[in-house]
Amino acid sequence: MRIVCIGGGPAGLYFGLLMKKENPAHQVTVIERNQPYDTFGWGVVFSDATMENMRAWDDVTAREIESAFNHWDDIEVLIKGRRMRTTGHGFVGIGRKKLLNILQARCEELGVELVFETEVDSDLEFPDADLIIASDGINSKIRNRYAEVFKPDMVMRPNRFIWLGSKKAFDAFTFDFRRTEHGWFQAHIYKFDEDTSTFIVETTEDVFKAHGLETADEQKSVAFCEELFSEVLDGAKLISNSRHLRGSAWLNFGRLICGKWSHFNGKSHVVLMGDAAHTAHFAIGSGTKLALEDAIELTRQFRNFGATPDKIPAVLDAYEEVRAVDVARIQNAARNAMEWFEVVGSRYADTLEPEQFMYSLLTRSQRISHENLRLRDKTWLENYERWFAARAGINIDPDGPPVPPMFTPYRVRGLRLENRIVMSPMAMYSSEDGVPNDFHLVHFGSRALGGAGLLFGEMTCVSPDARITPGCLGLWNDEQAAAWKRIVDFVHATTPAKFGLQLGHAGRKGSTRVAWEGIDQPLNDGNWPLISASALPYMASSQTPRAMTRADMDRVKADFVAAAERGAEIGFDILELHCAHGYLLSSFLSPLTNHRSDEYGGSHENNARYPLEVFRAVREVWPQDKPISVRLSCHDWTEGGNTPADAVIYAKLFKDAGADLIDCSSGQVSKDEKPIYGRLFQTPFSDKLRNEVGIATVAVGAISEADHANSIIAAGRADLCALARPHLADAAWTLHEAAKIGVKSIPWPKQYLSAKLQYEANLARAAAGPSPG
Ligand SMILES: Cc1cc2nc3c(=O)[nH]c(=O)nc-3n(C[C@H](O)[C@H](O)[C@H](O)COP(=O)(O)OP(=O)(O)OC[C@H]3O[C@@H](n4cnc5c(N)ncnc54)[C@H](O)[C@@H]3O)c2cc1C
Ligand SMILES: Cc1cc2nc3c(=O)[nH]c(=O)nc-3n(C[C@H](O)[C@H](O)[C@H](O)COP(=O)(O)O)c2cc1C
């Protein structure tokens, strides 16, 4: 085959040499506009997995790269006068120039034709080529020529960064955070050869502008950074080699995804590779790794299908299919890390203590978890666990085993929870006339015995017409109160768990069938009239509610107050006001469901006016030493609906009104929603609200392991973790998870003690693997 690579960066060179190595009969040319040794950038980092992959494909280059590598294990964080270090993080770095020189030399050795100092304008310059690799970097001319085919989606990110180097050899991957009179700057620093380090300085657009860096030339920018980071530089200079850049040396990162990666131009097949196809933010240093892995994958597909011109279309489809998934995974992790650095100043650096700040930094991509940190640096993690536990008020024996964050107690007002695990409210649709029965006693009783620190009852309705379904629980009469008291008393008398009451009104989502007979569908008969913020049905098949009048508001508020009073008498420990999921109070908060033109609609203040009125009335009758949490849908996942930025505004309003916690859920407001589900998918909302508003939060949604809960709580992304479905699957989720992570100090009910030892022994045996014979 005749192959032309346009652009001699890592992607073009590596693909060229791999294909030539596969079959020396291929004619391979790499065309590069720069001179052989004229290149930008400083050092690049790789993981062990990338190296292993490279070793399998061309051992010669892999060995050369490895011998030029600088390996380091430590991460050091400087902030607020503190210098903290952890080990076991295993990076390798190499200078970009060195890497390219190794690849160039290997290309020459294998017979790849290298053409330098030649600018390519179009793929049509190579009509004889069977395959053209567009490896011409992020500003790819070739990709831009066929933009309607490749559908590039480039998003320019808000932060500014400048890519510098230093002749100081840092012995750890160093993050230095500095506050100026205008805000925060951070430096990402890592050594890549004996005496040179990459030194990237990053800040937000407004801080960048406030310092006049917009008009500063390169020299001034470098001088500014040298002064700001003088302590860590310790007399060393910063160096710029961004002469190839036009305009400011400060860049915005552009996140690129392409809808399609290949195209037939009438003569040749053109395919994108490396930065021309996708970018990954430097926060996880994967741009070069992705470029090299693209080259490997395309070579692999030629090996699979056969490296002849007729196989090219199938090869390119397979290449795109495999790489798109991998790239999405890396971009996802890079996005978390990138966003962390975009908000780090005001969200974390200003608010978290240095120890917790460092934990948050280490887990920023959400790919490194608590147990993963334990594997990397047990001593550091255990010391952090002790620090965290001491903050939670536990007296820690410095020589004894530390207590993981989810098992530390939590205090709010007069409430003390034994641990941070919450059973999330879950409607069971199993009552008659709103009265809890034996099912509820067993349901809640067994979960209280199962170790959760706090149980929430399901949405408990404040009047008969506040119910979602005829099977929903209520608290509007004495019979219901007596039945609830039996359960709450059982939980208090038998277990250390605390019990929360979630009060709600279904609003426009009321008068429907129980879940297993047609969720959200109106009743076959016996429907009751609905009320909501506005007269908008939930679905086309739903009943249309009446927009609430002031008289409705007074009645419903009185119902909430009466239910709260009953709840206090019963002895519930915490009250949660259900303002989420499109139910009555939620319908006021979302612009999708609130179209009112009076003082209860139109702005955040107006939308929140009635929910806040209910909150204040309930707060007045609820005992002062007991907390109230508010459940919010922090994202409507629908065009025109609320986003986490709106949730921040609502959380502030509830905080000012006296709310103690925000329970951060999302969705179920509109049937048009397009939620992005996934592990811990709502935790970012909790993180945002907690650290931007300064209010305690509950994280919920696809949290399913102790490792998740520990990571969330340790990083300060939430104060409590709520789990719903995992508690249906396993009533003793908390006790079982404790055993799985080797925590033996969590008490089991005395009646079940003999099972604890057996359970732990079985886990230990399973972990040890099959016994011989
Ligand atoms: C300033 C800067 C510094 C960086 N430093 C690092 C770093 O330290 N660590 C890291 O992991 N990643 C770094 N990156 C990202 C990293 O360089 C890329 O992810 C990686 O190099 C992608 O490899 P590539 O081969 O796809 O593209 P590139 O490395 O960009 O290579 C593209 C090549 O094509 C050439 N070219 C472009 N257009 C034409 C044309 N029309 N004709 C001929 N030749 C052309 C370019 O000169 C270039 O050599 C940096 C990026 C930039 C912009
Ligand atoms: C069967 C079921 C019933 C639910 N009922 C309620 C409810 O009454 N009130 C509420 O706020 N959320 C309710 N939810 C939502 C859960 O509290 C929780 O936010 C959601 O299931 C995500 O958590 P998970 O991933 O741990 O299941 C319910 C969820 C389930 C699965």
Q: What is the DSSP string of 573-633?
A: SEEEEEE-TTSHHHHHH-TTT----STTSSSHHHHHHHHHHHHHHHHHHS-TTS-EEEEEE
Q: Are 289 and 148 in contact (CB under 8 A)?
A: no
SS (H, E, C) 300-363: HHHHHHCCCHHHHHHHHHHHHHHHHHHHHHHHHHHHHHHHHHHHHHHHHHCCCCHHHHHHHHHC
Residue 338 CA, distance from chain mean position? 11
Look at residues 752, 78, 88 and name the one whose alpha carbon lies nearest to residue 368: 88
Give the mean model confidence (pLDDT) for residues 144-167: 95
Closest residue CA from atom 29 of ligand 2: 426
* 616 Cα distance to chain centroid: 33
- Which ligand places an atom closest to the C-alpha of 634? 2
Ligand 1 atom closest to the CA of 142, numbered from 1: 41
Pairing assessment for the beta strands 70-72 and 91-95 based on DSSP bridges: antiparallel
Is the model's pLDDT at 397 over the cut of 90?
no
The reply to whether ligand 2 has any atom less than 6 angstroms from the CB of 82 is no
Whole-angstrom Cα distance, residue 586 to residue 611?
8
pLDDT in tens, 533-575: 999 999 999 999 999 999 999 999 999 999 999 999 999 999 9
Cα–Cα distance, 168 to 740 (Å, whole number): 45
Tell whether ligand 2 has an atom less than 6 A from the beta carbon of residue 723.
Answer: yes
> Which protein residue has the closest C-alpha to ligand 1 atom 19?
287
CA 241–ligand 1 middle distance (angstroms): 14
Sign of CA pseudo-dihedral 666, 671, 672, 677: positive
Query: What is the value of pTM for the model shown?
Result: 0.91
* CB-ligand 2 contact for 425 (6 Å cutoff): yes
How far are the Cα atoms of 586, 587, 667, 668 from residue 649, in angstroms, in the given order?
14, 16, 17, 20
Is the CB of 459 inside a 6 Å radius of any atom of ligand 2? yes
Q: If pLDDT is split at 50, 70 and 90, which confidence band does 367 have?
A: confident
Calculate mean pLDDT across residues 707-734: 98
What is the mean predicted confidence (pLDDT) over 34-44? 74
Give 205-225 pLDDT, tens digit per residue.
999 999 999 999 889 999 999
- The answer, yes or no, to whether residue 244 has pLDDT greater than 60, is no
pLDDT band at 38 (very low <50, low <70, confident <90, very high): low
Residue 208, Ramachandran bin (φ over 0: left; ψ between -120 and 50: alpha; else beta): alpha
Distance linking the first and last C-alpha atoms of the chain = 56
Rounded to 5 degrees, what are φ and ψ at 56? -65, -25
- Number of other CB atoms surrounding residue 259 within 10 Å: 11
Q: What is the mean pLDDT of residues 56-84?
A: 93
Which residues are tagged catalytic? 583
pLDDT for residue 619: 98
Strand, helix or coil at 661?
strand
Q: Is residue 693 within 8 Å of residue 659, measured between CB atoms?
A: no
Give the distance (Å) from ligand 1 centre to CA of residue 320: 20
Which H or E run contains 101?
helix 96-110
Q: Given a cut of 90, is residue 395 above it in pLDDT?
A: no
Atom of ligand 2 nearest to the CA of 459: 8
DSSP track, 27-81: EEEEE-SS-TT-----EEEE-HHHHHHHHHH-HHHHHHHHHH-EEE--EEEEETT
Ligand 2 geometric centre to CA of 148 (Å)? 43
The residue among 451 and 171 whose pLDDT is bigger is 451
Q: Whose CA is nearest to atom 20 of ligand 1?
A: 288
- Give the pair of three-digit tokens for residue 153: 């989606």
Q: What is the mean pLDDT of residues 600-611?
A: 98
Using the mean position of ligand 2's atoms as its centre, give its distance from the Cα of residue 396 in Å: 35
Q: What are phi and psi of 215, to 5 degrees?
A: -105, 0
The pLDDT assigned to 39 comes to: 57
pLDDT over 70 (residue 773): no
**Cα 533 versus chain centre, distance:** 33
